[in-house]
Amino acid sequence: MDKRVQNAAAAVSDIKDNMTLMVGGFGLCGIPENSIAALVDNNIFGLTCISNNAGVDDFGLGLLLQKKQIKKMISSYVGENDEFERQMLSGELEVELIPQGTLAQRCQAAGAGIPAFYTPAGFGTEVAEGKEVRYFNGKPHLMEHAFEADFAIVKAWKGDQNGNLVYKGTARNFNPLMAMAGKITIAEVEELVPLGTLDPNHIHTPGIFVQRIFQGINYEKRIEQKTVLKRTQ
């Protein structure tokens, strides 16, 4: 049951070219910084990445984009990355844009063993091209398939050696859904605590979904867009 590995390099050591990865986080919140850096160092190419967004130019998944290690992005929001935009418009990067709720549900369906589901989101747009349409209560719905990912890489606040995870604040976004959905789930945590430390009632991801866990280091936790109120007299 002890799922601890030494570090990010050990955790991602068997991720190879042309694999499909789920990468947790929302914007720059709750992203697996250490694991992404290890993938950059390993010079893996041809990746398909499923993520809410593509990071920014010099942080998060943007680091993999800089080295052109990603061949396809499956995302719901990509507006903060100039290199992403350049690669998409030039045809260097394949992009599948998905409504955010559909992205979340395709992750959840994969974790629950549901191969497909119907949703009204995207009907009548480019999202609907080539997809089966059925009517429920007179309303058109698109059939969407669950994701199939070789690995899910997530970030949590605390975890134990069995892989039980607790997320903090808004980092509890796509991470729990993706942790359930990968064939192999890698979790990096800020604090790796002794077994029995975590309150069972407060565990967000049970360890049965996690195959590898390590304690990360040197988290930058960058704010994507810092907005503050102007001080008034």
Mean pLDDT in runs of 10 for the chain (233 residues)?
96 98 93 97 97 91 95 89 91 94 97 97 94 97 97 98 96 94 97 96 97 95 79 72
Contacts of 232 (CB under 8 A, 6+ apart): none
Q: Say how far apart CA 202 and CA 20 lie, in whole Å.
A: 30
Strand (E) or helix (H) holding 186 = strand 184-193
Q: Say how far apart CA 2 and CA 9 lie, in whole Å.
A: 18
- Closest listed residue to residue 161, CA positions, set 120, 199, 109, 215: 215
In a domain, 205, yes or no: yes
In a domain, 229, yes or no: no
CATH code of the domain containing 26: 3.40.1080.10
Task: Indicate the pTM of the whole model.
Answer: 0.92
Domain extent for 169? 8-215
Q: What is the dihedral of CA 68, 71, 76, 77, to 10 degrees?
A: 20
What pLDDT was estimated at residue 80? 77
* 31: number of Cβ within 10 Å: 32
When divided into structural domains, the chain yields a total of 1
In a domain, 98, yes or no: yes
Bridge partners of residue 133, in order along the sequence: 142
In a 10 Å sphere around its CB, with 0-12 CB exposed, 13-18 middle and 19+ buried, how is residue 22 labelled?
A: buried
What pLDDT was estimated at residue 233? 65
In a domain, 164, yes or no: yes
In a domain, 3, yes or no: no
In a domain, 142, yes or no: yes
Contacts of 80 (CB under 8 A, 6+ apart): 27, 53, 55, 56, 224, 225
- How many angstroms from the chain centroid is the CA of residue 230? 34
The CA R_g of the chain, rounded to the nearest whole Å, is 18
What pLDDT was estimated at residue 117? 98
What pLDDT was estimated at residue 179? 97
In a domain, 210, yes or no: yes
Q: Say how far apart CA 186 and CA 152 lie, in whole Å.
A: 6
Q: β-strands 165-166, 47-50: how paired?
A: unpaired
What pLDDT was estimated at residue 27? 85
Contacts of 8 (CB under 8 A, 6+ apart): 34, 35, 37, 38, 188, 214, 216
What pLDDT was estimated at residue 124? 94
In a domain, 224, yes or no: no
What pLDDT was estimated at residue 52? 93
What pLDDT was estimated at residue 220? 87
